[in-house]
């Protein structure tokens, strides 16, 4: 049986025009702000101007009386309505072994604000301008409190505290390796190289700012149109934690996304507010974020400060590696934010090097700043940056070529599969070979001449070298798809992953076309609808890695099911049924039936598999 016919013919591994581009480039995309107003009310968020303050009286009387204003909500209103808080993963311990300490994150701040931009009041009005004008009429009595915005300063004695349960501002901590063995190696080392390294806080800025629409149908079922890389968990958080409704009473829908980069992962306070207002008022509500809303209210990235050291022998072989890091979490934990410095970074912090002894000590530290979460690699770039900076520093200090010191410390092919110091397995890799190829392609040895020529033109000319390794596919064993063959002659894929510009429609279609022998023009890829597909979503570069694997499995399942159906219809043994290019044929005969003819005989006129 051949279920992978004509790979070249159907496009796998071959350049094809992206299926998405025709509509995206001609203005036919389905971005959230393209949805018509349809009489929706607008929600506007009044944000804290203070990094840390106690909230006193909130005077909303003037705002409520303004033209077009339908409702004004404060944190106290949401508490009274038993609206829940955004959940976190309390899976770590503080340095003293006590549970993680952090304040509950509400949709609207109640009693205390902890960062500039935290939502304090929500205004709902008939137009965005009316809602904004009413928000400007609200008077909030703030008692400003001391604040700390730098993780290093936050752990100093006497620093302002973010949460009373953690007077030292340390949310959680993790340690890896053998501290005593590393100390001994450093004591006897021929050379010690140390650096203080900062991966500064970054503010993700997707082309399309966040926006949200919520509405109830006549049965009271809630639809949340939102920008999310993880539609299923967004629905689950809204149902279980915020509104305390059943999951089947909510559907989350996501259209085209103008970028995500990790920043659009999970439910934001604004999303929850829009949903709450829609239920409370039984009206369609929409919120349109501006660039400033993402700047102060969106999840930030990085914010890792480290002191790192190598102990080396006289020839540049690393004997031990020590890193002490502070990972800023902001005032609240954003989803898996604490996992990034405590787990994901350390997984790859040894890079592609055979470093036998390590000691990593990492603390996650709260500050009076916006929450920090996933962004463009989520901890791995920061970790690799540390070891690569040390390699260059060691090469300079010992007078060794930066290529040579790397080759000295690379994991050798004979060591593979290799388990690094924190238990991660490298199954393959020819690191020295790749370095040789890279420096040849870059004309490394011609650098001096290029630099000299640039200097004559008044230009600065530099170069850098790094050996980067990635760890991807968060929750690599969890993703679901459903695949359907319809009586109309189409293949329809429902996936829980979410495209945000990376071309998943094209890639999945290529895979399906190659595996099923069906033209790409007969394939529909549907994402962003929790009624049709559920899954972990698109984070950690997992969409093709994990979602694509689920697609591949679904085609095998589809063919297996179709063979059974064809055997029954054609009155033949399953073992005699061959599949190729959309047809199921009794081997050695011309008797056959198409996949779509089988679908026509099924309930609902479609043949379906869930994988």
Q: What is the pLDDT of residues 133-151, one digit of tens each?
A: 999 999 999 999 999 999 9
Query: How many residues are listed for the chain in this entry?
Result: 611
With H, G, I as helix, E, B as strand and everything else as coil, classify residue 240: helix
Instruction: Judge whether residue 220 has pLDDT over 70.
Output: yes
Instruction: Judge whether residue 241 has pLDDT over 70.
Output: yes
Radius of gyration of the chain from its Cα atoms, rounded to whole angstroms: 28
Q: Are strands 481-486 and 606-610 parallel, antiparallel or unpaired?
A: antiparallel
Alpha-carbon torsion (76, 79, 85, 91), positive or negative: positive
Confidence of residue 542 (pLDDT cuts 50, 70, 90): confident
Q: What is the pLDDT of residue 16?
A: 86
The more confident residue out of 548 and 145 is: 145
pLDDT digits (tens, 9 = 90+) for 249-297: 999 999 999 999 889 998 999 999 999 999 999 999 999 999 999 999 9
Confidence of residue 336 (pLDDT cuts 50, 70, 90): confident
The verdict on 305 and 284 lying in the same domain is: no
542, 500 Cβ separation under 8 angstroms: no
With H, G, I as helix, E, B as strand and everything else as coil, classify residue 49: coil
Query: Which CATH number goes with the domain that contains 265?
Result: 3.90.1170.50
Query: Does any domain span residue 465?
Result: no
Scan for tokens 């038993």, then name that residue: 82
Confidence of residue 571 (pLDDT cuts 50, 70, 90): very high
Q: How many CB atoms lie within 10 A of CB 292?
A: 12
Summarize the confidence of residues 116-122 as an average pLDDT: 98
The verdict on 566 and 437 lying in the same domain is: no
Query: Does any domain span residue 466?
Result: no
Token pair belonging to 297: 């209210």
With H, G, I as helix, E, B as strand and everything else as coil, classify residue 228: coil
207, 51 Cβ separation under 8 angstroms: no
Alpha-carbon torsion (117, 120, 125, 130), positive or negative: negative
Query: Does any domain span residue 187?
Result: yes
Please tell me the distance from the alpha carbon of residue 566 to that of residue 555, in angstroms, as a whole number: 16
Instruction: Judge whether residue 428 has pLDDT over 50.
Output: yes
Summarize the confidence of residues 377-390 as an average pLDDT: 93
The verdict on 119 and 195 lying in the same domain is: no
Instruction: Judge whether residue 9 has pLDDT over 80.
Output: no
Query: Does any domain span residue 307?
Result: yes
Summarize the confidence of residues 574-601 as an average pLDDT: 96
CA dihedral 50, 55, 58, 63 (to 10 degrees): 30
Token pair belonging to 159: 């620093």
Q: Percent of the chain at pLDDT above 70?
A: 97
Q: What is the pLDDT of residue 478?
A: 77
Summarize the confidence of residues 439-465 as an average pLDDT: 95
The candidate with the shortest Cα–Cα distance to 220, out of 290, 275, 263, 152, is 275
Instruction: Judge whether residue 439 has pLDDT over 90.
Output: yes
Angle, vertex CA 13, rays to CA 9 and CA 18, nearest 5:
90
> Can you give the pTM of this predicted structure?
0.93
Confidence of residue 5 (pLDDT cuts 50, 70, 90): very low
Query: Which CATH number goes with the domain that contains 162?
Result: 3.30.365.10
Last residue of some domain: 297, 326, 354? 297
Summarize the confidence of residues 346-356 as an average pLDDT: 95
Q: Percent of the chain at pLDDT above 90?
A: 84
The verdict on 508 and 407 lying in the same domain is: no
Number of compact structural domains in the chain? 3
The candidate with the shortest Cα–Cα distance to 321, out of 393, 427, 400, is 393
Instruction: Judge whether residue 475 has pLDDT over 80.
Output: no
The verdict on 308 and 263 lying in the same domain is: no
Last residue of some domain: 252, 276, 297? 297
339, 376 Cβ separation under 8 angstroms: no
Summarize the confidence of residues 372-398 as an average pLDDT: 94
Instruction: Judge whether residue 482 has pLDDT over 60.
Output: yes
The verdict on 414 and 266 lying in the same domain is: no
Question: What's the number of CA atoms in the CB half-sphere (13 Å) around residue 40?
Answer: 23
Q: How many CB atoms lie within 10 A of CB 610?
A: 12
The b/e string for 185-194 (b: 16+ C-beta within 10 A; e otherwise) is bbeebebbbe
| Mean pLDDT over each residue of the chain, to the nearest integer | 93
The verdict on 171 and 210 lying in the same domain is: no
Query: Does any domain span residue 463?
Result: no
Confidence of residue 308 (pLDDT cuts 50, 70, 90): very high
* Residues facing residue 218 across a β-bridge: none
Q: State which residues form the domain around 43.
A: 33-145+205-297
Please tell me the distance from the alpha carbon of residue 324 to that of residue 346, in angstroms, as a whole number: 11
Summarize the confidence of residues 541-550 as an average pLDDT: 87
Q: How many CB atoms lie within 10 A of CB 304?
A: 26
What angle, rounded to 10 degrees, do the helices at 548-570 and 504-516 form?
30
Q: What is the pLDDT of residue 6?
A: 37
The verdict on 327 and 289 lying in the same domain is: no
Query: Does any domain span residue 491?
Result: yes
Contacts of 566 (CB under 8 A, 6+ apart): 572, 577, 584, 593, 598
Summarize the confidence of residues 516-544 as an average pLDDT: 91
Q: How many CB atoms lie within 10 A of CB 459?
A: 9
Token pair belonging to 466: 């790094």
Whether the ω angle into residue 210 lies within 30 degrees of 0, i.e. cis, is: no
Q: What is the pLDDT of residue 529?
A: 95
Q: What is the pLDDT of residue 4?
A: 38
328, 304 Cβ separation under 8 angstroms: yes
Please tell me the distance from the alpha carbon of residue 303 to that of residue 341, in angstroms, as a whole number: 9
The verdict on 322 and 291 lying in the same domain is: no
- Cα 443 from chain centroid (whole Å): 36
Query: Does any domain span residue 539?
Result: yes
Token pair belonging to 503: 């071309």
- The DSSP annotation for 454-495 comes to HHHTT---------------SSTT---EEEEEETTS-EEEEE
The answer to which of 21-25, 156-160, 305-309 has the lowest mean pLDDT is 21-25
The verdict on 512 and 552 lying in the same domain is: yes
Confidence of residue 1 (pLDDT cuts 50, 70, 90): very low
Confidence of residue 595 (pLDDT cuts 50, 70, 90): very high
176, 357 Cβ separation under 8 angstroms: no
- Cα 53 from chain centroid (whole Å): 31
Last residue of some domain: 278, 297, 316? 297
Summarize the confidence of residues 541-546 as an average pLDDT: 85
In Å, what is the CA distance from 26 to each residue of 20, 21, 317?
Answer: 10, 8, 56
* Residues facing residue 523 across a β-bridge: 491
The verdict on 198 and 213 lying in the same domain is: no
Query: Does any domain span residue 336?
Result: yes
In Å, what is the CA distance from 4 to each residue of 171, 556, 559, 581?
Answer: 51, 9, 11, 9
In Å, what is the CA distance from 227 to each residue of 258, 268, 425?
Answer: 9, 10, 35
Summarize the confidence of residues 401-415 as an average pLDDT: 97
Confidence of residue 11 (pLDDT cuts 50, 70, 90): low
Confidence of residue 3 (pLDDT cuts 50, 70, 90): very low
The verdict on 327 and 225 lying in the same domain is: no
């Amino acid at each position: 049986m051949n279920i992978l016919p004509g790979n070249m013919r159907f496009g796998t591994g071959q350049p094809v025009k992206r299926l998405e581009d025709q509509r995206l480039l001609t203005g036919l995309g389905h971005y959230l702000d393209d949805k018509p107003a349809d009489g929706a009310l607008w929600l506007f968020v009044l944000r804290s101007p203070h990094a840390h303050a106690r909230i006193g009286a909130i005077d909303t009387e003037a705002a409520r009386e303004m033209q077009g204003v339908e409702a004004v909500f404060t944190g106290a209103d949401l508490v009274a309505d038993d609206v829940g808080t955004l959940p976190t993963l309390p899976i770590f311990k503080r340095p003293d072994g006590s549970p993680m300490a952090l304040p509950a994150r509400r949709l609207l701040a109640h009693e205390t604000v902890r960062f500039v931009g935290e939502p304090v009041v929500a205004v709902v009005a008939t137009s965005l301008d009316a809602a904004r004008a009413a928000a400007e009429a609200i008077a909030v009595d703030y008692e400003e409190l001391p604040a700390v915005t730098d993780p290093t300063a936050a752990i100093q004695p006497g620093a302002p505290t973010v949460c009373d349960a953690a007077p030292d501002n340390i949310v959680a901590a993790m340690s890896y390796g053998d501290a005593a063995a590393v100390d001994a190696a450093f004591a006897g080392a021929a050379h010690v190289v140390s650096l203080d390294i900062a991966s500064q806080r970054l503010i993700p800025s997707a082309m399309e700012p966040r926006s949200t629409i919520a509405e109830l149908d006549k049965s009271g079922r809630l639809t949340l149109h939102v920008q999310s890389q993880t539609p299923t968990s967004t629905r689950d958080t809204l149902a279980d934690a915020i509104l305390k409704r059943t999951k089947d009473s909510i559907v989350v829908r996501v259209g085209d996304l103008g970028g995500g980069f990790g920043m659009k992962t999970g439910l934001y306070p604004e999303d929850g507010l829009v949903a709450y207002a829609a239920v409370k008022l039984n009206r369609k509500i929409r919120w349109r974020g501006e660039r400033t809303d993402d700047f102060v209210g969106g999840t930030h990235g990085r914010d890792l400060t480290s002191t790192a050291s190598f102990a080396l022998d006289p020839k540049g072989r690393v004997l031990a590696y020590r890193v002490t890091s502070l990972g800023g979490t902001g005032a609240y934990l954003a989803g898996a934010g604490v996992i990034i410095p405590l787990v994901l970074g350390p997984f790859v912090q040894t890079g592609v090097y055979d470093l036998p002894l390590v000691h990593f000590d990492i603390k996650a530290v709260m500050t009076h700043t916006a929450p920090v979460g996933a962004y463009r690699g989520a901890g791995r770039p920061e970790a690799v940056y540390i070891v690569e900076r040390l390699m260059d520093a060691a090469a300079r200090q010992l007078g060794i070529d930066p290529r040579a010191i790397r080759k000295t410390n690379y994991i050798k092919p004979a060591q593979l599969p290799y388990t690094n110091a924190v238990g991660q397995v490298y199954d393959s890799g020819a690191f020295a070979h790749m370095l040789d190829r890279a420096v040849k392609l870059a004309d490394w040895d011609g650098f001096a001449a290029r630099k000299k020529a640039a200097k004559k033109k008044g230009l600065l000319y530099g170069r850098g070298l790094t050996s980067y390794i990635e760890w991807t596919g968060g929750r690599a064993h969890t993703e679901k798809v459903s695949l359907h063959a319809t009586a109309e002659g189409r293949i329809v894929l429902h996936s829980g992953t979410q495209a945000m510009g990376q071309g998943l429609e094209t890639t999945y279609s290529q895979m399906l076309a190659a595996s099923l022998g069906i033209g790409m023009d007969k394939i529909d890829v549907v994402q962003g609808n929790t009624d049709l597909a559920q899954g972990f979503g698109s984070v950690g570069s997992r969409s093709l890695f994990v979602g694509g694997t689920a697609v591949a499995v679904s085609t095998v399942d589809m063919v297996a099911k179709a063979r059974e159906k064809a055997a029954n219809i054609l009155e033949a043994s399953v073992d005699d049924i061959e599949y190729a290019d959309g047809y199921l044929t009794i081997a050695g005969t011309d008797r056959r039936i198409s996949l779509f003819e089988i679908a026509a005989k099924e309930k609902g006129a479609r043949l379906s598999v869930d994988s």
